[in-house]
């Protein structure tokens, strides 16, 4: 009974301790663990708010997107998951404590006088405490303490209860497969590469969002300038209409000129309204990229893009840009890391081709204790149950003393060999690993070719838009000079309303083309930066800082 109490008391205390506080050492077994999560606050504004208008630079718009954009914040979770995946793989090397208890009571009818009595009742209680620890070298340690207590009514038993204790220590070492590097080590390496792949995937997606922000930012500026141009055009048309109406009233202009000016005024008004709605639509798109508002109209303030320096196209040669792209493009980084994973899988498959040969070594000690019962068998079997003549007291202490003395011990040394006859599974895995590795190398070459084409195409777009911008500026200068001439001719009665209207249209069209050319040049430069892989560098963004935004500690 004392052994049972000795066992159950710590068990009860253990269970009670798990209920006392959430912060005890056992909380990791039954509560959600502390971790990091992405927590969004109310959309953060940058820039300058003035009179209900938010004056925003391109860099500030990108900064808002890094914090508020929902796609970016969704992607941040992948990094957190990959970090825990590494810890999951490393958990293979966590030590493991083992505890076991079992109790058995059995009464059997006697089938022989040698069993002692008409029936025999046996009670058995067993306890096991152990610890197992694997290592990356393919070594594993197994330590265990085993105790059991046996009660029996069999009068041939000399020790009742019999308390037996055992101490076992085993070492197992892989000598071929997994020697020096376990399967878990391969998985850990791959998980670490996958973490870097996830970081590069985050960079790729953030780059796409940044390019979208830049595109919408400059489209918004173009739309705003279009509103200004159409308003100016409307003012021109209004002035011409009023002048022709006054001339018609004094008889110096025909009714046709008034009608022409009125029609032009209506056309300009329609263009102005269309430009205003385009501006509103593009602003909604930009708001969606830089905030987490469900309704873009909930955004406080009207975004006004702030002019920056003139676009400066890169002057590096194609070979230099390709060299930079190979080093900095997220896709190239992912391809290199993926190639490393396939190499690891190939190495693992070669290791799995080997037979499995384990060296096992162990040491054991034993102890025995309990009340020693001495019976008088001189008159047995005439006397059905031999009388007890003496009882030598004993117990758990005797068993532990015998265990610790080292008098009762044993050694184990052995080799276990597993030799697959055909080894078909491992051979197939090795063949697949070789194919996957060669395919990954070819995919990397294909990716490099695609990137080269993207860079070449982006450079062509930049060169074309540079030429368009230069030509459009010359066209604006010529259109301005023509309009001044037509206005002078109209004032002295030498020009017609149609000629003046056409001169105004040409100037406004030239200005629109110039605005569009400049915006297209800026966007093509952004596309070239993306193709080269230096969007982060151009905008002073550090990957680790971008990943850390909105990451909060969640306590259990």
- Specify burial of residue 300 (Cβ count, 10 A radius: 0-12, 13-18, 19+): exposed
Q: How far are the Cα atoms of 85, 192, 385 from residue 30, in angstroms, in the given order?
A: 20, 28, 54
Least confident span in 325-334, 377-386, 545-554:
377-386
Give the separation between CA 473 and CA 459, rounded to whole angstroms.
21
pLDDT at 125 over 80: yes
pLDDT value of position 24: 60
pLDDT value of position 446: 97
pLDDT at 42 over 80: no
In terms of DSSP bridges, do strands 53-56 and 302-305 run parallel, antiparallel, or are they unpaired? parallel
Average of pLDDT values for 230-257? 79
Asked whether the beta carbons of 48 and 61 are under 8 A apart, the reply is: no
pLDDT at 41 over 60: yes
Average of pLDDT values for 320-341? 96
Span 259-272, pLDDT tens digits: 888 888 898 888 88
pLDDT value of position 252: 67
Average pLDDT, the chain: 87
| Length of the chain (residues) | 556
Asked whether the beta carbons of 137 and 180 are under 8 A apart, the reply is: yes
- Tell the CATH topology of 48-69+184-346+427-535: Outer membrane efflux proteins (OEP) (1.20.1600)
Q: How far are the Cα atoms of 42, 59, 77, 373, 465 from residue 70, in angstroms, in the given order?
A: 12, 18, 11, 80, 32
Give the separation between CA 259 and CA 350, rounded to whole angstroms.
88
- Among 416, 417, 408, smallest CA distance to 168 is for 408
Least confident span in 49-58, 130-139, 517-526:
49-58
pLDDT value of position 5: 44
3-state SS track over 413-429: EEEEEECCCCCHHHHHH
pLDDT value of position 236: 79
pLDDT value of position 22: 46
Give the separation between CA 457 and CA 268, rounded to whole angstroms.
37
Q: Which two tokens stand for residue 537?
A: 């560098």
Q: How many CA atoms lie within 13 A of 314 on its CB side?
A: 24
pLDDT at 19 over 80: no
- The DSSP symbol for 132 reads E
Give the separation between CA 471 and CA 348, rounded to whole angstroms.
62
In the block, residue with structure tokens 């019976």:
375
Give the separation between CA 123 and CA 2, rounded to whole angstroms.
15
Span 397-449, pLDDT tens digits: 888 888 889 899 999 999 999 998 999 999 999 999 999 999 999 999 999 99
pLDDT value of position 485: 87
Span 127-171, pLDDT tens digits: 999 999 999 989 999 999 999 999 888 777 778 888 999 999 999
Kindly give the interhelix angle for 497-532 and 318-328, rounded to the nearest 10 degrees.
50
Q: Give the CA angle between residues 507, 512, 518 to the nearest 5°.
A: 125
Give the separation between CA 451 and CA 326, rounded to whole angstroms.
8
- More confident site: 17 or 287: 287
Average of pLDDT values for 80-106? 92
Asked whether the beta carbons of 154 and 118 are under 8 A apart, the reply is: no
Give the separation between CA 183 and CA 195, rounded to whole angstroms.
19
Q: What DSSP string describes 192-206?
A: HHHHHHHHHHHHHHH
Q: Give the CA angle between residues 117, 121, 125 to the nearest 5°.
A: 150
Q: Which of 16-20, 136-140, 187-191, 292-296 has the highest mean pLDDT?
A: 187-191
Q: What DSSP string describes 325-345?
A: HHHH-HHHHHHHHHHHHHHHH
Q: Which two tokens stand for residue 26?
A: 């056992």
Span 353-368, pLDDT tens digits: 999 999 999 999 999 9
Give the separation between CA 118 and CA 438, rounded to whole angstroms.
77
pLDDT at 1 over 50: no
Q: Which two tokens stand for residue 292?
A: 């987490």
In terms of DSSP bridges, do strands 302-305 and 162-174 run parallel, antiparallel, or are they unpaired? unpaired
Asked whether the beta carbons of 188 and 90 are under 8 A apart, the reply is: yes
* Predicted confidence band of residue 253 (pLDDT cuts 50, 70, 90): low
pLDDT at 380 over 90: no
Span 184-243, pLDDT tens digits: 999 999 999 999 999 999 999 999 999 999 999 999 998 998 888 888 888 878 887 887
Least confident span in 26-40, 76-90, 211-225:
26-40
pLDDT at 12 over 60: no
pLDDT at 20 over 60: no
* Predicted confidence band of residue 61 (pLDDT cuts 50, 70, 90): very high
* Predicted confidence band of residue 7 (pLDDT cuts 50, 70, 90): very low
pLDDT value of position 116: 64
pTM: 0.83
Q: Which of 31-35, 94-98, 242-246, 383-387 has the highest mean pLDDT?
A: 94-98
Q: Give the CA angle between residues 548, 550, 556 to the nearest 5°.
A: 95
Q: What DSSP string describes 353-402?
A: TSPEEEEEEEEEEEEEESPEEEE--TTTTTSSSPPEEEEE---HHHHHHH
Average of pLDDT values for 489-500? 74
pLDDT at 291 over 60: yes
Asked whether the beta carbons of 373 and 404 are under 8 A apart, the reply is: no
* Predicted confidence band of residue 4 (pLDDT cuts 50, 70, 90): very low
Average of pLDDT values for 437-464? 96
Q: Give the CA angle between residues 526, 530, 534 to the nearest 5°.
A: 100
User: What are the boundaries of each domain within the chain?
Assistant: 48-69+184-346+427-535
Give the separation between CA 178 and CA 173, rounded to whole angstroms.
9
Average of pLDDT values for 273-291? 93
pLDDT value of position 382: 61
């Amino acid at each position: 009974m004392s052994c049972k109490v000795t066992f159950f008391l710590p068990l009860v205390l253990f269970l009670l301790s798990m209920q006392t506080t959430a912060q005890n050492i056992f909380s990791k077994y039954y509560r959600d663990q502390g971790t990091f999560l992405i927590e969004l606050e109310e959309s953060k504004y940058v820039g300058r708010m003035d009179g209900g208008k938010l004056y925003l630079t391109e860099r500030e718009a990108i900064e808002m997107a890094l914090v508020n954009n929902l796609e970016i914040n969704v992607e941040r979770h992948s990094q957190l998951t990959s970090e825990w995946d590494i810890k999951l793989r490393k958990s293979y090397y966590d030590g493991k404590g083992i505890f076991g208890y079992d109790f058995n009571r059995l009464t059997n009818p006697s089938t022989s006088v040698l069993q002692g009595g008409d029936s025999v009742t046996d009670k058995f209680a067993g306890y096991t405490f152990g610890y197992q620890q694997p290592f990356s070298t393919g070594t594993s340690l197994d330590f265990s303490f085993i105790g059991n207590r046996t009660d029996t009514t069999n009068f041939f038993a000399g020790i009742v209860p019999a308390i037996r204790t055992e101490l076992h220590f085993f070492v197992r070492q892989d000598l071929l497969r997994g020697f020096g590097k376990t399967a878990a080590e391969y998985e850990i390496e791959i998980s670490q590469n996958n973490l870097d792949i996830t970081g590069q995937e985050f960079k790729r997606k953030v780059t796409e969002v940044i390019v979208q922000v830049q595109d919408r930012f400059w489209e918004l500026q173009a739309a705003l300038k279009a509103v200004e141009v159409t308003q100016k055009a409307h003012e021109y048309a209004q002035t011409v209409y009023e002048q022709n109406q006054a001339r018609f009233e004094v008889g110096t202009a025909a009714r046709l000129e008034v009608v022409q000016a009125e029609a032009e005024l209506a056309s300009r008004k329609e263009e102005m309204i269309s430009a205003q709605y385009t501006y509103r639509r593009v602003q909604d798109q930009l708001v969606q990229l830089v905030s987490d508002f469900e309704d873009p109209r909930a955004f406080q303030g009207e975004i006004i893009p702030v002019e920056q320096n003139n676009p400066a196209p890169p002057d590096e040669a194609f070979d230099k840009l390709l060299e930079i792209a190979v080093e900095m493009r997220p896709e190239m980084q992912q391809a290199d890391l993926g190639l490393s994973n396939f190499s690891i899988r190939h190495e693992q498959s070669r290791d799995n081709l080997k037979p499995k040969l384990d060296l096992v070594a162990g040491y054991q000690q034993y102890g025995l204790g309990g009340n020693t019962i001495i019976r008088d068998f001189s008159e047995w079997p005439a006397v059905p149950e031999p009388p007890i003549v003496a009882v030598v007291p004993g117990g758990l202490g005797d068993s532990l003393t015998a265990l610790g003395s080292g008098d009762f011990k044993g050694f184990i040394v052995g080799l276990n060999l597993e030799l697959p006859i055909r080894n078909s599974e491992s051979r197939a895995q090795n063949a697949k690993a070789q194919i996957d590795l060669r395919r990954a190398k070819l995919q990397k070459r294909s990716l490099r070719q695609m990137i080269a084409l993207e860079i070449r195409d982006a450079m062509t777009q930049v060169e074309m838009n540079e030429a368009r911008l230069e030509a459009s500026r010359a066209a604006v200068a010529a259109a301005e000079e023509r309009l001044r001439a037509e206005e002078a001719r109209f004032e002295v009665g030498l020009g017609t309303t149609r000629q003046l209207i056409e001169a105004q249209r040409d100037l406004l069209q030239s200005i629109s083309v110039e605005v569009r050319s400049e915006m297209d040049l800026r966007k093509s430069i952004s596309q070239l930066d993306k193709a080269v892989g230096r969007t982060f560098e151009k905008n002073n963004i550090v990957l680790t800082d971008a990943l850390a935004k909105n990451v909060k500690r969640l306590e259990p």
